[in-house]
Amino acid sequence: MIEDRPSNPRIRTKISQIDNGLDETLYQHIDKLRLGGYSVDEFQNALAEFCRAQASDPNFSALGDKTSVENQSHWLIKRHIDYCRYSALFYHVAENEAHPPHHHHNVISTQIVISGTLQLREYERIERRDDGRLVLKLVSDRMIGPGDIFQASEWSKNVHWFCAEGGPAVIFNINARGFEDKTFDTDEAAFGRCYIDPTQFDNTGLIITEEFDAERAHELFQGRRLDEFPIPA
Ligand SMILES: [Fe+2]
């Protein structure tokens, strides 16, 4: 069990509903990233392997079944290590529920589909223009199902958008925030999602978009399949 401590590093555990062995293994990966023992790519590869191993364990998948039945998020861990933080949870996506297109600040996430099918679009952030608008490019548009993984980090596939199709879905998510030294936006940016509209693009496929709040994103995208919105040829 990872003990909370007041210093060096300061560890604060907000939620712990995780098997002790898993807690320790995940902590080792996270702390190796924090101390520079992993590049972000190496960390992502290790987490993908970790998630695949967990998803093939029936006891672990049963936690996802609980999420599905109760139609809610099921948090396993939420912990701060100094100014970094990480979490792991199962969450439920109802049929035709969209997670509207958004980008993230200083988040490294690994997500594995436990059950269901989703359409997923992923984008790269190209630049932030002088007028504040964001320039993006679509890099992936695919259907994903049980065992499939998608990952986002500050400099790779930072932007995504997905919707459950043909029934509900359950996803297991590990999120690490505040671990990257060099960030796309300034350090003052918040960790939460920033919603964008990737549906307008020029003839080279470049998307230029403003950002907006969750309410506007809901109006534009909630309950709508991704295929309703064309992508660059
Ligand atoms: Fe996200």
pLDDT tens, residue by residue, 164-181: 999 999 999 999 999 998
Residue 160 CA to ligand 1 centre (angstroms) = 6
- Is residue 87 in some structural domain? yes
Residue 100 CA to ligand 1 centre (angstroms) = 9
pLDDT higher than threshold 80 for residue 187: no
Dihedral, CA atoms, 90, 145, 55, 47, nearest 10 degrees?
-80
Residue 29 CA to ligand 1 centre (angstroms) = 21
- Check residue 82 and give its pLDDT: 93
Handedness of CA 180, 183, 185, 187 (dihedral sign): positive
Question: What is the identity of the amino acid at 185?
Answer: D
CA distances from 42 to 32, 113, 222 (A): 10, 21, 35
At residue 65 the predicted structure's pLDDT band, cuts being 50, 70 and 90, is: confident
Residue 99 CA to ligand 1 centre (angstroms) = 8
Q: Hey, which residues does 87 pair with through a beta bridge?
A: 78, 175
Among 93, 89, 99, which Cα is nearest to 68's?
A: 93
Number of domains in the chain: 1
Q: Which residue has the tokens 């919603």?
A: 195
pLDDT higher than threshold 90 for residue 7: no
- Check residue 31 and give its pLDDT: 96
What is the model's pTM?
A: 0.95
Domain holding 175, by residue range, is 11-120+143-184
Q: Write out pLDDT tens, residues 81-116.
A: 998 999 999 999 999 999 999 999 999 999 999 999
Residue 158 CA to ligand 1 centre (angstroms) = 8
Residue 116 CA to ligand 1 centre (angstroms) = 18
At residue 66 the predicted structure's pLDDT band, cuts being 50, 70 and 90, is: confident
- Is residue 189 in some structural domain? no
Largest CA-CA distance found in the chain, in angstroms, rounded: 55
Residue 110 CA to ligand 1 centre (angstroms) = 10
- Please say whether the beta carbons of 105 and 191 come within 8 A: yes
Question: For the domain that residue 94 is a member of, what is the CATH number?
Answer: 2.60.120.10
- Check residue 67 and give its pLDDT: 79
Burial of 59 per CB tally in 10 Å (0-12, 13-18, 19+): exposed
- Check residue 9 and give its pLDDT: 92
- Is residue 84 in some structural domain? yes
- Is residue 128 in some structural domain? no
Q: Write out pLDDT tens, residues 122-165.
A: 999 999 999 999 999 999 999 999 999 999 999 999 999 999 99
Residue 90 CA to ligand 1 centre (angstroms) = 14
- Is residue 73 in some structural domain? yes
- Is residue 193 in some structural domain? no
Helix ranges (H only) for the chain are 20-34, 40-55, 58-70, 214-221
- Is residue 151 in some structural domain? yes
pLDDT higher than threshold 80 for residue 190: no
Residue 60 CA to ligand 1 centre (angstroms) = 23
The conformation of residue 153, written as its DSSP 8-state character, comes to B
Residue 194 CA to ligand 1 centre (angstroms) = 9
Residue 5 CA to ligand 1 centre (angstroms) = 30
Residue 193 CA to ligand 1 centre (angstroms) = 7
- Is residue 127 in some structural domain? no
Local structure of 52: helix, strand or coil:
helix
pLDDT higher than threshold 80 for residue 1: no
Mean pLDDT of 3-25: 92
- Helix and strand totals (H; E) in the chain: 4, 13
**Average pLDDT over the chain, rounded to an integer:** 94
Residue 103 CA to ligand 1 centre (angstroms) = 7
Mean pLDDT of 210-216: 95
